[in-house]
Amino acid sequence: MTVNMKQVAALLVATSALFAFKANAAMDARQYQIKKVVIREIQDPNQMQVMSDKLGNFTAGCTAENTPNVAPTPVVSNDPNPANPLDTIDVIVDKIINIGKKIWAIVDAGRPVVNVKMDTANALPAGVRCWDELEGWQAPTSKLYQVSYENGFGADVVSYSFRVSFISGGSYKGQGKYLTLATVQPANIDVSWGFRFDANATVPMVFNQGTKANPVAGMQMAMNWQVTSPLSHIQQAESFFMNGNGDFKKLK
């Protein structure tokens, strides 16, 4: 039997190419598949600066973004010379409302989205137009968390840290404990080539955790995110609880 050396060489080249293709495919699979996710609270080296910035925004006063979009309902009066309706608004201390944001973007395509003035939520008594009508606010509370995604090679392909912060303790004419300037914001993000990371924050609800006579504002806040690559699509969320007494916990 005659052996065609050209055919043998071509077969060897094709076989080698096939093995190389399979090896590269396996390498790509390990590169783009997520094998491990770690979420943990970490120490915040910039906490004092964050608290200082938060207090700076706090003492700057209310902004248009913190003012309700709808005009409050004025008190009906039989006075022939009534006062300015905006000066006679009913304040319902046991009805808790959010006059800030209910959803906002945190990270878009791996790029942090930061807008300190707009991207905050509140839990205040109905009828109040802004937090500066309340008094007795406490120092800011801030927690830092880190999310890490590890691929098949054991390398971190997405590393994202985010900060949850809020100010609690405000009272309206000595009544209740409320929340303001609650937010989730990016602290640091590193996304490897071939991966995309998007995140947003939502405030599903604010509520009265106390009584009618002694209201305590409660708020649930969530951070939702997704990681995508050519071989992976992962959606996750973390939920947090905070209240007017300054209590805070991660719900899961």
pLDDT tens, position by position, 78-135: 444 444 433 444 688 889 999 888 999 888 877 887 665 668 899 999 999 888 899 9
Q: What is the mean pLDDT of the chain?
A: 78
Alpha carbon distance 136, 173 (integer Å)? 10
pLDDT tens, position by position, 5-21: 665 455 544 444 444 43
How large is the average pLDDT for residues 129-158? 91
Q: Which residues pair with 159 in a beta bridge?
A: 148, 190
The residue among 249, 57, 251, 43 whose CA lies nearest residue 140 is 57
The residue among 190, 146, 126 whose CA lies nearest residue 37 is 146
Q: pTM of the prediction? A: 0.75
pLDDT at 252 over 90: no
The residue among 137, 162, 135 whose CA lies nearest residue 147 is 162
Per-residue model confidence (pLDDT) at position 2: 54
Helices (H), the chain: 5-32, 47-59
